[in-house]
A and B are shown apart, each in its own frame.
Chain A
Amino acid sequence: MSENIFEIKNAEYVYTGGVSALAGISLEIKKGERVAFMGANGSGKSTLLSLLDGLIFPSKGTVNAFGRELSETALSDADFAKSFRSKTGFVFQNPEVQLFCPTVREDIAFGPLCMGLAVEETEKFTQGIANELGITELLDRPPHRLSIGEKKKVAIATALVMDPEVIIMDEPTAGLDPLTTRHIIDLLIKAGQAGKTVITATHDIHTVEETADIIYILGRDKKITASGTPQKILNNASILMENNLIHMHTHKHGESEQPHAHPHLHDHHSHGHPV
């Protein structure tokens, strides 16, 4: 049986002011598993990722990571904090928050330096991840001179520079052009093949099949309403509809001289669209 990296038991989270973000979540994430959290806006996906990264702690219930409960006390233990942070890489939805240094190089180097790596070693790591992601030419640029796609790549580099065991990404492809989206999906596929545990929160039903082995749907009640393989979840139109992941609409098909309009589910239809 595979080792559990994360174990969440009846986790609830309530924001200041009494707004509930999660209402009793229980799940386990195994080593090397690729997990996607899906759901409508405000269903608690980002909050759940923050819990998994030990940035916030549950109001009720527990979150265990690498066999130890994630709590303020646990993360004030310098050794555990260092070990946990070096094993997990978190990519925020908004890359602006993750790029807080004056240059890309310093942003990427920030994590390794915080982990106590020497400058020479950090420089090697920085150059290595920059080569891997094809962002070498961006290293001496300030973050405000990057495009949104470049910012996202740099944000990913900042999280992956230490080669973490667990990669957590919040909306990795939101707002990106198709080519950058493809690069990021390929990166996630590669990470999965390398045995990394990949956890994503996404609305993108077009790519989730490639990046996840298991999907958890977070409902409006802030609980897990469905879970299963991508095939099982993506073929359940009613679940997807209920959670704003697909919608009914009309549109023109192909280059037909007599365009026809008809309602259908956006994702699963077979009308010979070019892929």
Chain B
Amino acid sequence: MILELNGIVKRYQNKTAVNQVSLTVKEGEIFGLLGPNGAGKTTLISTICGLSDPEEGEILLFGKTMKSAGTEIKKQIGVVPQDIAVIQGLTAYENVTFFGKLYGLKGKLLKERVEEALNFTGLWDRRKDKPGKYSGGMQRRLNIACAIVHQPKLIIMDEPTVGVDPQSRNHILESICELNRRGSTIIYTSHYMEEIEEICSSIAIMDEGRLIACGTSEELKEQIANEEKTFIEVATTSQMFADSLKNVEGVTECLVDENRITVVSTKGSNNLTRMIERLTSAHAEIITIGVERPSLESVFLTLTGRTLRD
């Protein structure tokens, strides 16, 4: 295990920011920590990074605690904070060099790693510019370059795509996958479920300081999905079409709204072909068909009664 959390509790005055969180992150994973703003993700990350001690529980990183081997552990971690945390008075090259030195790199190796980190994030050509001259997305990438210069085993990324343009966002997400392919384990926090779903192999959902679900994307969806919805758009609507679909195996409900028919079926019915056959037999002119699968959003909604962006 790269990371093991056992019953972590962190309080700020009267508020319990992290409440009895236990989870494990295996080597080679991209582990997503999903939750709305204020769920306790950043507090949990701060605790993992050793910025604050938990009131209760134990954190094991690479099988050791921060107290027993803090420096050794920190050398193997790269942290990408939520906010841009680079030195504005230094160029991109100097910033990455600065962080490389802090992590013990020297001489030729340092130069090579700096070049590698800047190339990886696509900033090598702009290495002589200060962060102030960068776009928001480029600053985010520099934020990442500073965290990966020492090629850490574990990279912790706290909402690295907040406020960036789609192009930079895609670049960042691709970079994360590439870093993972090169051997780094990633812990990735976000309140964007699409990102988490796209890149993470394991996902933990947090809300109000608690860990409410944990598993792969499919496992999480399995936990909550009991039904599937199919949307069929036809050229002209007739109640007859709806009636013909009601008899299809697995269908529990059929609603008509203008040219759109919504068919609710039990999970795993696999009845789409039969529905199309029935409509074709009834001389319905089908324009589009869509199937709604359970998403992480619906998982969160089912578990908390709220949407992620509430």
Query: Are A and B genuine complex partners?
Result: no
